[in-house]
Chains A and B, each alone.
Chain A
Amino acid sequence: MTQSLDLLSLRAVSKSYGPVPVLHEIDLAIRDGEFLTVLGPSGSGKTTVLRLIGGLESVTSGAIYLDDRDISRVAINRRPFNTVFQDYALFPHMTVAANIGYGLSIRRRPRPEIKRRVTEALDLVQLGKFADRYPAQLSGGQRQRVALARALICEPRLVLLDEPLAALDLELRRQMQEFLKSIQREIKTTFLFVTHDQEEAIGMADRICVMESGRIRQLGTPHELYYRPSCEFVARFFGENNLVPGKLGVVDGDFRAIDTPLGRLSCCIGNQPDLRAAAEGQAAFAVFRPEALSPAGAEDSVNRFSGSVRDCAFSGSSTVAHIDAAGQHLRLRVPSRATGSQFRQGETMALSFSARESHLVLA
Chain B
Amino acid sequence: MNGRSGRYQALVTLLAFALPVFFIVAPLLMFLAYSFFSVDHGEINYTLTVANYVRFFTEPVFLPIFWSTCVLCLSVSVICVLLGYPAAYFLTTLHGRWRYIMLMMLMVPLLMSYVIKIYAIRSILGQSGFLNTMLVGLGILEKPSSLFVFNMNAILLTLTLLLIPFAILPIFLALERIPQVLLRASADLGASSIQTFMRITLPLSVPGVASATSFVFVLAIGDFLTPQMVGGVNGFTFGRILYSQFGTAFNWPFGAALSVALAVVVIAAILAGERFGRQKGLPR
List residues of A whose CB falls within 8 A of some B CB.
54-56, 76-78, 81-83, 85, 87, 89-95, 102-103, 106-107, 134-137, 150-151, 154
Contact: B281 with A89, CB < 8 Å? no
Q: Contacts A93-B203, A134-B281: A56 and B190 contacting too (C-beta < 8 A)?
A: no
Q: CB-nearest residue of chain A relative to B182?
A: A89
The 7 A-B pairs at the shortest CB distance, nearest first, are namely A134-B281, A89-B185, A103-B189, A89-B181, A76-B187, A106-B191, A83-B188
Q: Contacts A85-B185, A89-B182, A93-B204: A136 and B191 contacting too (C-beta < 8 A)?
A: no
Shortest CB–CB separation between residue A109 and chain B, in angstroms?
11
**Which residues, 154 to 185 on B, are CB-close (under 8 Å) to A?**
179, 181-182, 184-185
**Which residues, 180 to 212 on B, are CB-close (under 8 Å) to A?**
181-182, 184-192, 195, 199-200, 203-204
Add 4 more A-B contacts to A89-B181, A134-B281, A136-B283 (CB < 8 A). Answer: A83-B188, A93-B203, A102-B191, A106-B191
Q: How far apart are the CA atoms of A76 and B204 in the complex, in Å?
A: 22
Contact: A93 with B279, CB < 8 Å? yes
Contact: B200 with A91, CB < 8 Å? yes
Contact: A85 with B181, CB < 8 Å? yes
Q: Contacts A106-B195, A135-B281, A136-B282: A91 and B182 contacting too (C-beta < 8 A)?
A: yes
Contact: A83 with B185, CB < 8 Å? yes
B41 an interface residue at 8 Å Cβ cutoff? no
Interface residue tally of chain B, by bracket?
20 to 34
A-B contact pairs, 12 of them (CB 8 A): A77-B188, A77-B189, A77-B192, A78-B190, A82-B189, A92-B282, A103-B189, A103-B190, A106-B195, A134-B280, A134-B281, A134-B282
Q: Which residues of A contact B200 (CB under 8 A)?
A: 91
Q: Which of A87, A92, A137, A154 has the most CB of B within 10 A?
A: A92
**Which residues, 240 to 284 on B, are CB-close (under 8 Å) to A?**
279-283
Q: Which residues of A contact B179 (CB under 8 A)?
A: 89
Contact: A54 with B188, CB < 8 Å? yes
Shortest CB–CB separation between residue B206 and chain A, in angstroms?
8
Q: How far apart are the CA atoms of A92 and B203 in the complex, in Å?
A: 10
Q: CB-nearest residue of chain B relative to A56?
A: B184
Q: How far apart are the CA atoms of A89 and B184 in the complex, in Å?
A: 9
**Which residues, 79 to 132 on B, are CB-close (under 8 Å) to A?**
none
Q: How far apart are the CA atoms of A135 and B281 in the complex, in Å?
A: 7
Q: Which residues of A contact B282 (CB under 8 A)?
A: 92-93, 134, 136
Q: How far apart are the CA atoms of A103 and B190 in the complex, in Å?
A: 6
Contact: A137 with B281, CB < 8 Å? yes
Q: How far apart are the CA atoms of A70 and B124 in the complex, in Å?
A: 59
Q: Which residues of A contact B185 (CB under 8 A)?
A: 83, 85, 89-91
Contact: A92 with B204, CB < 8 Å? yes
Of A54, A77, A89, the contact of B190 (CB 8 Å cutoff)? A77
Of A76, A91, A136, A137, the contact of B188 (CB 8 Å cutoff)? A76
Q: How far apart are the CA atoms of A91 and B280 in the complex, in Å?
A: 11
Shortest CB–CB separation between residue A63 and chain B, in angstroms?
21
Q: How far apart are the CA atoms of A83 and B179 in the complex, in Å?
A: 16
Q: Which residues of A contact B186 (CB under 8 A)?
A: 91, 102
Q: CB-nearest residue of chain A relative to B178?
A: A92
Contact: A95 with B281, CB < 8 Å? yes
